[in-house]
Amino acid sequence: MEATALQMTWFVLLGVLMAGYAILDGFDLGVGILHLFARGDQERRVFMTSIGPIWDGNAVWLVVLGGATFAAFPNAYAAAFSGFYLGFMLLLCCLIFRGVSMEFRSKRPSGLWRGFWDVAFSASSTLATFLFGVVVGNCMRGLPLGADGDFTRPLGLADLLNPYSVLTGLFAVSAFAYTARTTCTSRPRASCRCGSRAGCGGRSSCSWRPTWC
Amino acid sequence: MEGHFESGPAALNLFGIPDAREGKVKYGIGIPGALSFLVHSDFSKPLPGLNDFPEKDRPPIMVPFVSYHLMAGVGGLLIALSLLGLILLWRGTLFTRRWLMWLFVGAVLGPVVCNQAGWVAAEVGRQPFIVYPKQAVEWDGGKAKISTSYEGLRTDVGLSNRRVVTTPQVLASILMFGFIYLLLFVVWVYVLNDKIQHGPDYHPAEPMTTSEGLLDAATANKPAGGDSLTEARNEAQVVEAN
Q: Tens digit of pLDDT per residue, chain B (242 long)?
A: 677 777 777 777 777 777 777 777 777 777 777 777 778 777 777 777 777 777 778 888 888 888 888 898 899 999 999 998 888 888 888 788 888 888 888 888 889 899 999 999 999 888 888 888 887 877 777 677 777 777 888 888 878 777 888 888 889 999 999 999 999 999 988 888 888 888 777 766 555 544 555 555 555 554 444 444 444 444 444 444 44
> A56 or A186: which carries more pLDDT confidence?
A56
Amino acid B224: pLDDT: 47
Residue type, B27: Y
**Is the per-residue pLDDT at A143 higher than 50?**
yes
Amino acid A186: pLDDT: 61
pTM here is 0.69
Residues sharing a CB contact under 8 Å with residue B24, sequence separation 6 or more, in sequence order:
B3, B5, B6, B18
Amino acid B162: pLDDT: 77
Q: Is A71:A9 a contact under the CB 8 Å cutoff?
A: no
- Do the Cβ atoms of A93 and B160 come within 8 Å? no
How far from the centroid of its chain's Cα atoms is residue B111's Cα?
7
- Contact status of B241 with chain A (Cβ, < 8 Å): no
Residues sharing a CB contact under 8 Å with residue B50, sequence separation 6 or more, in sequence order:
B3, B4, B5, B23, B58, B61
Omega prior to A163 cis, within 30 of 0: no
* Angle, CA B214 vertex, CA B211 and CA B219 arms, to 5°: 125
User: How many beta-carbon pairs below 8 A join chains A and B?
Assistant: 47
Separation of alpha carbons A184 and B22, rounded Å: 71
Residue type, A116: F
**Is the per-residue pLDDT at A213 higher than 50?**
no
**In chain A, which residues have their Cβ closer than 8 Å to the Cβ of B161?**
78, 82, 148, 150-151
- Do the Cβ atoms of B169 and A86 come within 8 Å? yes
CB atoms within 10 A of CB B109: 10
Phi, psi of B65 (to 5 degrees): -60, -50
Domain boundary assignment for chain B: 160-200
Three-state DSSP state, A182 = helix
Q: Which of A34-48, A77-91, B180-194 has the lowest mean pLDDT?
A: A34-48
pLDDT more than 90, % of chain A: 23
**In chain A, which residues have their Cβ closer than 8 Å to the Cβ of B166?**
154
Identity of the residue in B161, B170, B194 whose CB atom sits nearest the CB atom of A108: B194
> Of A101, A153, A154, which Cα lies nearest the Cα of A127?
A101
- Do the Cβ atoms of A85 and B161 come within 8 Å? no
Model confidence at A185, in pLDDT bands (50, 70, 90)? low
**Is the per-residue pLDDT at A91 higher than 70?**
yes
- Do the Cβ atoms of B161 and A150 come within 8 Å? yes
Separation of alpha carbons B26 and B28, rounded Å: 5
Q: Is A193:A211 a contact under the CB 8 Å cutoff?
A: no
- Do the Cβ atoms of A104 and B187 come within 8 Å? yes
- Do the Cβ atoms of B184 and A89 come within 8 Å? no
**Å from A153 to nearest chain B CA?**
5
Radius of gyration, alpha carbons of chain B: 32
**Is the per-residue pLDDT at A206 higher than 60?**
no
| β-sheet bridge partners, residue B144 | B139
| β-sheet bridge partners, residue B154 | B129
Identity of the residue in B166, B184, B194 whose CB atom sits nearest the CB atom of A154: B166
Residue-wise pLDDT for A108-140, tens only, equals 878 788 888 888 989 999 999 999 999 999 989
The half-sphere exposure of B96 on its side-chain side, counting CA atoms within 13 A, is 6
Phi, psi of A53 (to 5 degrees): -80, -10
**Å from A120 to nearest chain B CA?**
13
CB atoms within 10 A of CB B39: 11
**In chain B, which residues have their Cβ closer than 8 Å to the Cβ of A96?**
180
CB atoms within 10 A of CB B22: 9
Q: Is B88:B100 a contact under the CB 8 Å cutoff?
A: yes
Backbone angle region of B165, left / alpha / beta, with phi > 0 → left and psi within -120 to 50 → alpha: beta
Which residues of A touch chain B, with CB atoms under 8 Å apart?
Answer: 78, 82-83, 85-86, 89, 93, 96-97, 100, 104, 107-108, 148, 150-154
Separation of alpha carbons B230 and B227, rounded Å: 9
ipTM score: 0.73
**In chain A, which residues have their Cβ closer than 8 Å to the Cβ of B180?**
93, 96-97
Phi, psi of B147 (to 5 degrees): -115, 135
**In chain B, which residues have their Cβ closer than 8 Å to the Cβ of A83?**
164
Torsion of CA B59, B61, B64, B66, to 10 degrees: -170
Residue A187: Cβ-neighbour burial (10 angstroms; 0-12, 13-18, 19+)? middle
Can you tell me the mean pLDDT for A179-189?
67
How far from the centroid of its chain's Cα atoms is residue B110's Cα?
11
**Å from B189 to nearest chain A CA?**
12
